[in-house]
Amino acid sequence: MRLQRDSSTGNSPMLLQVLTLDEIEVRASAIGLPTTVLCDDADLVPSTLSRWRAKQVVPRPRSLRRISRALIEREKALLVHLIGLHGVPGIEVAA
């Protein structure tokens, strides 16, 4: 994992975790997210990760940023959902 500036968030760039292929696959699997769905979220061809894994193509930094961003957003959405279901003392989830 490395951090890069993410200028897609408007005027104030934030740091974005850019994940490795292994990290992407492990984290997607951990939340039950098929990599083809993750690719779709990132506007990438569904076979992108399998082509990276097979070394048919080299991942472009832009594509890694997009898929990292999509995965992090899915993880955040799941966390908010779980907190809403089970509650965490001292944390309120906006509706």
At 85, is the pLDDT very low, low, confident or very high (cuts 50, 70, 90)?
confident
- Domains within the chain, CATH numbers bracketed: 2-86 (1.10.260.40)
Buried b (16+ CB within 10 A) or exposed e, 55-89: eeeeeeeebbbbbbbbbeebeeeeeeeeeeeeeee
Q: At 28, list the tokens.
A: 């997607």
pLDDT for 12 equals 44
The string of DSSP letters for 5-70 reads: EEGGGSSS-EEEEE--HHHHHHHHHHTT--HHHHHHHTT--TTHHHHHHTTSSPPPHHHHHHHHHH
Span 24-66, pLDDT tens digits? 999 999 999 999 999 999 999 999 999 999 999 999 999 999 9
